Every structure is written in C-alpha cells, then in structure tokens.
Amino acid sequence: MSPAAEVFIQATGTDPDVQAQGVVEHAQGQLLERLEAVDASQAESAAPLVEQLRRYLTAADLSLYAAASGAAGTRLAVRALRAQVAVVREQLDALASAGDGTGRERALRTLGGGLAVLLGAERDVLLPALRTLPGVDLPALAEDFTTVLEGGRPADSAVIDVREIPHGRRHPRIFTRFARLADGESFVLVNNHDPKPLHREFEATHPDAFTWEYVESGPEQWQVRITRVAASA
C-alpha cells in the first residue's frame, strides 16, 4: 500500500506534477526579478543575471527539453524553443559585452523581450505538455533541472537496460539521456529485441547527429551503442 505521503489530488498543490512545474516557474520568477534589479549604469550589476540565465538555459535543455525532444507531439515545440534559446544567448553575449550604460540599457530591453517569449512558451506550452506526455516523470525532471541549476549534473548511466523500464517510459528515458551527451559521448542500450522502431525515431528527430552500433545482436539480448556526433552542416 502506498504511504499517505504519496496520496494526492490531481491538478492541485498536492500533485507532484504541479509541484514540479512550480519548481521551474519559481526559477523563472527569480530570473525576471534579477533582470528588473540590474542597474544598467554599473557594469558589474549585470554579471549575476548573465551567469544565472546561462545556467538556467542549460538546466532547462538537459532536463525539460531533453525529455520532450523525442516525442512526436513536442519535438517541433522543442525545436522552436531551442531556436529562441539561441536568440537569448546572443542577447546575453551582447549584454555581457556592452561597453557603457546606454549599451547595457539597450541590451537589457532586448534581452527582456527575448526572455519573455522564451519563458512564456516554456510555461504555457512545454510544461503543460510534459505533464501529459506518456512516460515522462516530471518530478524527476524537476530534480535534474535543480541539480544543473545549482551547478551539478544529473547522474546518467553509461548503460540503459530498458528491460527494467516500463514500456511507456522507455523512449522518453532514452531520448533524455541522448540529449545530455556531448559530441563523441555515448551510452549502451540493452533490450530483449532489435530496437528498430527506436532507430527510426532517432533518424526522424536527430538526423545525422548520432551513430548506431550493434554490440550484440540477439537472439535473446540486443545491445546498441548510441553516440552523439556533430550534425552535418
């Protein structure tokens, strides 16, 4: 029997998914507060915002975006979000390199607009989608998000044995792990059948960005080494 602590009313403050969403929204609120507090006349005033926002972008990508990147219903949204992240990163670079108060003030206004678009899309599109996406464990993603936000990295295994994972959670787990790989890094997938459908999903979502190497090909167990490579230009 589940302990009382695990009993909750869905879509209320006791719902773990709602609490997890609150973790992300709290971090977003802190960013906006820090943005408002920046004094454009002082060069050092913007430095904490730049550092915090860069860490936030990384945390969101390695947790929230990673989990949604392989699902048919959310992969296009993730592409759009990552395009906006690239815009925000350019705006952050402009703020960090602004030479005077006037330049910083202009860069802050531009950054504020870009950040509002990004955070609004995460709040109104990505987070609600993750709450309903089959196989996604939003509380676990929130834990990973917090870990990266605090300067750490999620604990990722070099081997994912999907035989130990419920069917509905397998592909989100695999795509989340892949999204955290740097170029040249890999993990080994273990399954009790040839994961050809997964390979087709990788071809659709990460074309030219991975290699697929069979380490073992049955008859009772399949092992595939999946490696991230730099996507072709």
CATH number of domain containing 117: 1.20.120
Q: How many folded domains does the chain comprise?
A: 2
The pTM score is: 0.75
- Judge if 75 and 130 occupy the same domain: yes
- Judge if 180 and 216 occupy the same domain: yes
Copy the structure tokens of residue 83.
């395009």
pLDDT at 177: 86
Instruction: Report which secondary-structure segment, H or E, holds 226.
Output: strand 222-228
The pLDDT tens digits for 127-178 are 999 988 877 888 889 999 999 999 988 878 899 999 988 887 788 788 888 8
Report the share of the chain in percent with pLDDT over 70. Answer: 92
Q: Could you list the residue range(s) of the whole structural domain that residue 90 is in?
A: 14-149
- Judge if 133 and 76 occupy the same domain: yes
pLDDT at 10: 57
Alpha helices for the chain (secondary structure H): 16-37, 47-60, 66-68, 75-97, 101-121, 127-132, 138-149, 167-179, 196-205
User: What region does 90 belong to: left with phi over 0, alpha with psi -120 to 50, or beta?
Assistant: alpha
Mean pLDDT calculated for residue range 50-71: 90
- Judge if 108 and 22 occupy the same domain: yes
- Judge if 109 and 218 occupy the same domain: no
In a domain, 132, yes or no: yes
Contacts of 198 (CB under 8 A, 6+ apart): 171, 174, 189
- Judge if 26 and 135 occupy the same domain: yes
Give the number of C-alpha atoms closer than 13 A to the C-alpha of residue 40, restricted to the C-beta side: 15
**CB distance 83 to 201 below 8 Å:** no
- Judge if 130 and 24 occupy the same domain: yes
- Judge if 144 and 184 occupy the same domain: no
Q: What are phi and psi of 213, to 5 degrees?
A: -120, 120
Whole-angstrom distance, CA of residue 25 vs CA of residue 39:
24
Q: Which of 55, 32, 23 is nearest to 117 (CA)?
A: 32
- Judge if 189 and 115 occupy the same domain: no
The pLDDT tens digits for 189-209 are 999 999 999 999 888 878 888
